[in-house]
Amino acid sequence: MKQTITQFVITLVILLVIAAAGTGAFVYSGIYNIGADDHHSRPVFSLLQTLRERSIAEHSRNLQVPDLEDATLILKGAGQYAAMCTQCHLTPGMKNSEIRPGLYPQPPNLAKLRVDPKEAFWVIKHGIKMSAMPAWGSSHDDATIWSMVAFLQKLPDLSSRQYKDIVAKAPPDDDMDMDNGDDHSKDADDMPGMTMPAKATSAAPPANEPKHRGG
């Protein structure tokens, strides 16, 4: 009996060593095609899909959802979405973009798909590894991310006309002040560590700037 167990353990160890060596050889050989235009096989894709779904569900489970019906929050989210997300996630009436055909995995069309608020918050904040979805939490506070989530709840119901109207009314996305021409220096304190000299502004800041900034 004891001998059988020892034999079994030795065989198992040998098999594991062979498997590890095989995996190492495969990885090191360079045979694997890492190109985004070479798609996963069905089993690999569904494995990754399950991994992604379970991870997001588990990590977002205990999040506290704020009032997503808050009109100011939705309006702010519209501006954020229009500035940062449309090339990958589209808008009502938009069929495609230059970047989308080459993305793998494909970003969902958020003008058609209504996402779960907790899961959407977590994905927007943390991004998804080995996909094009960035972690917006690196440059945006939680309140701003909730504004995008609030807007995403409305987006699938908007016509392209309604979408354009709400975006036109939305406060500008000035979180990073990337677009040199636009002077929103009053918001420099939004970003920890980003202090900008107070400049004399020629353009008056929008009067309806909502105060939903948490951090």
Q: Which of 105, 137, 172, 210 binds ligand HEC (CB under 6 A)?
A: 105
Half-sphere exposure of 28 (CA within 13 A, CB side): 6
Closest residue by Cα to residue 184 from 213, 206, 153:
206
The region of 32-40, 122-130, 167-175, 199-207 touching ligand HEC under the rule CB under 6 A is 122-130
Site for ligand HEC in 84-103 (CB under 6 A): 84-85, 87-89, 103
Nearest approach in angstroms of CB 213 to ligand HEC is 16
Q: What is the greatest pairwise CA distance in the chain?
A: 88
Nearest approach in angstroms of CB 176 to ligand HEC is 12
Contact call for residues 81 and 152 (beta carbons, < 8 A): yes
Q: How far apart are CA 113 and CA 107, in angstroms?
A: 11
Applying CB under 6 A, does 74 fall inside the site for ligand HEC? no
What are phi and psi for residue 159, nearest 5 degrees?
Answer: -80, 170
Nearest approach in angstroms of CB 130 to ligand HEC is 8
Q: Alpha carbon 137 to chain centroid distance?
A: 9
Applying CB under 6 A, does 136 fall inside the site for ligand HEC? yes
Instruction: Give the binding site for ligand HEC (CB under 6 A).
Output: 52, 81, 84-85, 87-89, 103, 105, 107-108, 115, 119-120, 123-124, 128, 131-133, 136, 148
